[in-house]
Amino acid sequence: MQHTSIEYDLTIVTRRMAHHSKYSGYDRLSDYLKGDVIYPAQHWTIPLRTTARILKPMVDKSGCQWYHRDGLISELSAMRRWLTSRKRVFHFLYGENSFRYLGAMKSTGIKNRIVCTYHTPPDRFTQIIKTRNFLRHIDALIVVSTVQQEFFSKMIGDNRVFYIPHGVDIEHYIPAKISHTERGRFECLFVGSHLRDIKLLAEAAKELQHLDPEIHLTIITSQEYSSCFSDLSNVDVKVGVSDAELLDRYQTADIFLLPLLDCTANNGLLEAMSCGLPIISTDLQGVRDYVNKSCAILTKKGNLQELVEAVLTAKGNEKKLKMMGEAGRKYARTFSWEVIAGKVTQLYKNLG
């Protein structure tokens, strides 16, 4: 890729994930970039429904499991803007859900550019996207973990694949202003469901219940996983918490406990760090991209004994936990949305 700095106008194609907090999610990037935004249709009028019905075969033949009619309608809006634009960047913040057909517009000869961000680990990507030849139209493909780089480079060339981390709202996710009240127990917090090792977490909670009754776990997850912890007296399961309660849980826990099956970027991990919460998670490349030894303890994937021992050891070292929390908050600043938006903006300028 040439590195001649060129100013482009910007159109962002994005969406809001229902399970994300108001302050979470990669779509927050659009709040820090200067461009117009295409959102999925909120009101399905008769013309929109008719268009979606007529073009349903395009959705069916997309080869993308997560590409639905709202993604197609967003791409149609992008196509209309393409025809009336010159030197415009179209950035799809969730490529898995929203980008499929806009690349065909390059045949018009209009010199616009396409940028896509992809979030899924390689193994998961191959499951949800079966047809991939459309990726060749992407001018710059952003990955949010280094674990994705080789995978995409083999498809479109390493000169078009760029690692730019996910961001976090460091102004919202902040440490508690005062120390939380002594509870007489050691509070572990877990958040989320996607690619989490729920089975291992339940096994660890059961072990900890017998080994140390002062250790308590708060599990914030989806309804489908709540039954995994129903027989454990040391666990409270929360479903559908408010943004205010989520922040409070981050600020008042002692550690953030996050066993994973796979990972690229993780909102919960970044938010916990930003709140000054020490991390115990799984030793995966996607995790190592966002933490270091000063703020996190990483255990082998699927290893129950290591995970339990990490929690027990952490409980007995308040001084170390305090130092980890402070280091995590400091490190989280390097992933602030202002920093990440600056890197993305520079990428636009270097498109050539």
- Report the Cα 4 to chain-centroid distance in Å: 30
**Please, what are the domains in the chain?**
9-167+336-349 (3.40.50.2000), 186-334 (3.40.50.2000)
Which amino acid, 21?
Answer: S
Nearest CA to 146 among 158, 134, 136? 158
Alpha carbons within 13 angstroms on the beta-carbon side of residue 128 total 16
CB–CB of 304/200 below 8 Å? yes
Alpha carbons within 13 angstroms on the beta-carbon side of residue 319 total 0
Task: Indicate yes or no: pTM above 0.85.
Answer: yes
CB–CB of 319/112 below 8 Å? no
Beta 215-220 vs 235-238: how paired, if at all? parallel
> What b/e string do you get for 313-329 counting C-beta neighbours within 10 Å, with b at 16 or more?
ebbeeeeebeebbebbb
Which amino acid, 238?
Answer: K
Which amino acid, 331?
Answer: Y
* Alpha helices (H) in 91-137, listed in sequence order: 95-98, 122-128
Contacts of 149 (CB under 8 A, 6+ apart): 143, 158, 161, 163
CB–CB of 90/112 below 8 Å? yes
Q: Tens-of-pLDDT digits for all 352 residues of the chain?
A: 444 566 889 999 999 887 888 999 999 999 999 999 999 888 899 989 999 999 999 999 999 999 999 999 999 999 999 999 999 999 999 999 999 999 999 999 999 999 999 999 999 999 999 999 999 999 999 999 999 999 999 999 999 999 999 999 999 999 997 665 556 789 999 999 999 999 999 999 999 999 999 999 999 999 999 889 988 999 999 998 999 999 999 999 999 999 999 999 999 999 999 999 999 999 999 999 999 999 999 999 999 999 999 999 999 899 999 999 999 999 999 999 999 999 999 999 999 7
Nearest CA to 29 among 13, 41, 49? 13
Q: State the sign of the Cα–Cα–Cα–Cα dihedral 22, 23, 29, 31.
A: positive
Nearest CA to 140 among 1, 250, 334, 241? 1
